[in-house]
Amino acid sequence: MAGRKTAKTGNQGQKILKSDAEWRKQLSPSQFRVLREKGTELPFSGQYDSHFGQGVYSCAACGNPLFSSEAKYDSHCGWPAFWAALDEKKVELHEDKSLGMARTEVVCAKCGGHLGHVFGDGPKPTGKRFCINSESLKFTRKRA
Ligand SMILES: [Zn+2]
């Protein structure tokens, strides 16, 4: 089927495989552009850039819990930034040499959706900066 990607089989449990047409039905055009076409939202435009509630940020496409507000920090880069994923099995890291740069792409381990990139200039304790598009995330507030 056109547009369908083959997922690697790993120990991540059940992968979600959908065609572009199926994703298009489920996602907004801007979410589709980021998650399925590896787009990047404009800096300082995303709803979660300067959002600091207590809770969990999940994948906007499949609901996989990805990042905790406890690891979110203000990187001033214009996108939501986290120094760690909720669990390193929740995300996959891929080498990305597009745009003439060597970067590390971060994708959702469950649906393969593009989330953003990870850089090595983050704060302690990990020194990592997961620079993630708001369009890829859905925030759920922690119940008190
Ligand atoms: Zn996902």
Domains of the chain by residue range: 20-141
Distance (Å) from CA 132 to ligand 1 centroid: 13
Tell me the two tokens of residue 125. Answer: 């304790």
Q: From the candidates 62, 108, 111, 131, which is the catalytic residue? A: 131
CATH H superfamily, domain 20-141? Peptide methionine sulfoxide reductase. (2.170.150.20)
Would you call 77 a catalytic residue per the annotation? no
* Token pair of 29 as six digits: 């055009």
Instruction: Write out pLDDT tens, residues 68-78.
Output: 999 999 999 99
The number of residues making up the chain comes to 144
Question: What per-residue confidence (pLDDT) applies to 143?
Answer: 79
Token readout for 74 is: 């203000």
Sign of the CA dihedral with 125 first, then 126, 131, and 136 last: negative
Residue 1's pLDDT is 45
Whether 111 shows a pLDDT value over 60: the answer reads yes
CA dihedral sign of residues 84, 87, 88, 94: negative
Residue 125's SS3 state is coil
Q: How confident is the model at residue 16 (pLDDT cuts 50, 70, 90)?
A: very high
Report the pLDDT value the prediction gives residue 14, as an integer from 0 to 100. 82
For ligand 1, the distance from its centroid to the CA atom of residue 90, given in whole angstroms, is 9
- Name the residue among 17, 20, 47 with its Cα closest to residue 36: 20
Task: Take residue 33 and report the two structure tokens written for it.
Answer: 């552009």
- Listed residue (109, 127, 47, 43) closest to 78, CA to CA: 43
138 secondary structure, DSSP code? E
Q: How far is the CA of 16 from the centre of ligand 1 (A)?
A: 8
pLDDT tens, 33-49?
Answer: 999 999 999 999 999 99
Confidence of residue 11 (pLDDT cuts 50, 70, 90): very low
| Bridge partners for 137 per DSSP | 59
Give CA 110 to chain center in angstroms: 11
Across the range 118-129, mean pLDDT stands at 97
* Ligand 1 center to 9 CA (angstroms): 16
pLDDT band at 57 (very low <50, low <70, confident <90, very high): very high
Q: Mean pLDDT, to the nearest integer, of 67-93?
A: 96
Q: What is the reported pLDDT for 3?
A: 47
Residue 144: predicted pLDDT: 67
